[in-house]
Amino acid sequence: MSSGKYPSITVEELYQISQNAGPFHLLDVREDDEFAEYHATISRSLPLSRLMEGRAQDELRMPKDEPVYLICRSGRRSLTACDLLHHQGFTKLVNVTGGMEAWVAAGLAHARG
């Protein structure tokens, strides 16, 4: 499945991949207050605003040739984040379709705070 120039993946497919051994990076690009409300237990917070302002160097300390999955609320901001990370040299970017709305609807593990 594809979202234009980046491949996409469903939340169910992403969860299956996360259960396998190997490098796994899921970045939640919603803002801090949204992440605190609820988030996938396997994700790390990296707000899109911080990416856009160029203040995300610490969070981006990972190999640029490993898969990076991006999730937001519904799937739009994560596409913007794909563009920004692509321009920073990341080569395996994957958009999570449906975002956290789909994640929660699928009953996948999520946390508050």
Q: What is the CATH number of the domain that holds 39?
A: 3.40.250.10
pLDDT attached to residue 3: 53
The catalytic site residues sit at: 72
- Concatenate the DSSP letters of all residues of 19-45 into one string: TSSS--EEEE-S-HHHHHH-EETT-EE
Model confidence over 84-110: pLDDT tens digits?
Answer: 999 999 999 999 999 999 999 999 999
pLDDT attached to residue 46: 96
Task: List, for the chain, all residue ranges whose pLDDT scores fall below the cut of 70.
Answer: 1-4, 21
Which candidate, 98, 88, 100, places its Cα nearest to that of 27?
Answer: 100
pLDDT attached to residue 1: 46
Q: Provide the 3-class DSSP secondary structure of residue 100.
A: helix
Domain span at 7:
2-111
Q: Which amino acid is at 26?
A: L
Whole-model pTM above 0.75?
Answer: yes
Pairing between β-strand 93-96 and β-strand 68-71 as defined by DSSP bridges? parallel
